[in-house]
Amino acid sequence: MKLIVGLGNPGSQYEKTRHNIGFVIIDALADRLGVSLNQSKFKGIYGTYHYKGEKIVLLKPLTYMNLSGESIVPLMDYFNIEDEDLLVIYDDLDLPVGKIRLRQKGSAGGHNGIKSTIAHLGSQNFNRLRIGIDRPVNGMSVPDYVLGRFSKEDQGELDKVISACVEACETWFDKPFLEVMNKFN
């Protein structure tokens, strides 16, 4: 069994913001797989997909970014999902728009959603898919920047990123995560 989590903030005011790119990827993956995110439990909404006898759960925590672990870990406990079968998708200020990076483990790198996940899981050993959103310019604060929307210029790159992320997730259904990393990094 696998769990794919997209991090973001609930509410229409946060839709399509840089910080909600994880939600965007989960929605795109759910659309591609024909999965309805219609189950509300574990402080989130989720849906399940069956692939070659394996259940795959897609989750959008509704706890707000800084408390993401409060949704992820209870769902993992309920379904008895191992750490290595977790993939968390989130925004990364240290990557340019259009770049993605997959990792098997590591620190939070300053990301509060990952900090919460590590704290609740008690481990840094889980898979991540980081999506570049770049850093703010012209003195804009980080909170204002991440809660802002992508520019029209970035939209073309974003469409490619969404497609690549969905493909990476689908590749993980069949391949070890290390192979997925080698293909998409």
Q: Mean pLDDT across the stretch 85-113?
A: 94
50 catalytically annotated = no
- Give the count of beta carbons closer than 10 Å to the beta carbon of residue 179: 12
The answer to whether 95 touches 170, Cβ cutoff 8 Å, is no
Q: CB neighbours of 136 closer than 8 A, spacing ≥ 6? A: 142, 144, 145
Q: Per-residue confidence at 137, pLDDT binned at 50, 70, 90?
A: confident
What's the confidence (pLDDT) of residue 26?
98
Cα–Cα dist 176/185, whole Å: 14
Q: Per-residue confidence at 23, pLDDT binned at 50, 70, 90?
A: very high
Q: Is the dihedral of CA 74, 77, 81, 82 positive or negative?
A: positive
Q: Tell if the pTM clears 0.85, that is, is over it.
A: yes
- Write out pLDDT tens, residues 141-162: 998 999 999 988 888 889 999 9
Alpha carbon distances (Å) from 105 to 2, 41, 152, 158? 16, 27, 33, 25
- Per the listing, tokens 């310019």 go with 137
Cα–Cα dist 105/109, whole Å: 11
- Write out pLDDT tens, residues 52-88: 999 999 999 999 999 999 999 999 999 999 999 999 9
Q: Which of 62, 72, 88 is nearest to 8 (CA)?
A: 62
- Single-letter code of the amino acid located at 37: L
SS3 assignment, position 46 = strand
Cα–Cα dist 92/161, whole Å: 13
Cα–Cα dist 171/180, whole Å: 6
